[in-house]
Amino acid sequence: MNSKLSVLHAAVLETARRCHPRFGHKLDPETWMKVFTDADFQGECNAVIATEKKTGLFAKSAVEVPTPDDYRELGQRHADALGRWEQWGSVRALFHTLDAEAALAGIAEGPFLTELVADIVLDDMADQANRGYLKL
């Protein structure tokens, strides 16, 4: 999978989680940029990127990962798309699963519903990239 697509996907999910209780079903641009500048978020993404690139018989032992400036640039480049993305059926479903998980707090453990929908969001993003609507 394309590492930029992986990061954008993770950023949409994290932004939705952070925005959900405060803004409802909105992807807030300020929260979006906070996600991209969060060192923990960058570390988690870099760990996935390094794993993706280290596969195979002749994998490199040192993997180059994005810098904090790379993350900031990627976030800024796609901040204007948030309003369009929050209208996608898959992202609307993600927000509804966040609603359901909040309603199930104390009854069911873990983000099992959002994990299911996260794959659908990724499929939508990959489809948009393949069609040329999402420029990576």
Q: What is the mean pLDDT of each run of 10 residues along the chain (136 residues)?
A: 89 96 92 97 91 62 83 96 95 94 82 87 94 88
> What pTM does this model have?
0.86
Is residue 77 one of the residues assigned to a domain? Answer: yes
Cβ distance 8 to 73 under 8 Å? no
**HEC assignment per residue over the chain:** CCHHHHHHHHHHHHHHHHHHHHHCCCCCHHHHHHHHHCHHHHHHHHHHHHHHHCCCCCCCCCCCCCCHHHHHHHHHHHHHHHHHHCCCHHHHHHHHHHHHHHHCCCCCCCCHHHHHHHHHHHHHHHHHHHHCCCCC
Residue type at position 31: T
Let me know if residue 31 belongs to a domain: yes
Average pLDDT, the chain: 89
pLDDT at 122: 94
Express each pLDDT in 81-103 by its tens digit: 999 999 999 999 999 999 998 88
The answer for residues whose C-beta is within 8 angstroms of residue 74's C-beta and 6 or more apart is 4, 7, 8, 36, 66
Residue 117: which domain range?
3-131
Cα–Cα nearest to 6, from 98, 118, 131: 118
Q: Is residue 121 part of a domain?
A: yes
Q: What is the pLDDT of residue 78?
A: 96
Q: How many domains is the chain partitioned into structurally?
A: 1
Alpha-carbon span 115 to 69, nearest angstrom: 29
Please report the pLDDT score of residue 105 as a whole number. Answer: 83
CA end-to-end distance (rounded Å), the chain: 12
**136 belongs to a structural domain:** no
Q: What was the pLDDT predicted at 17?
A: 94
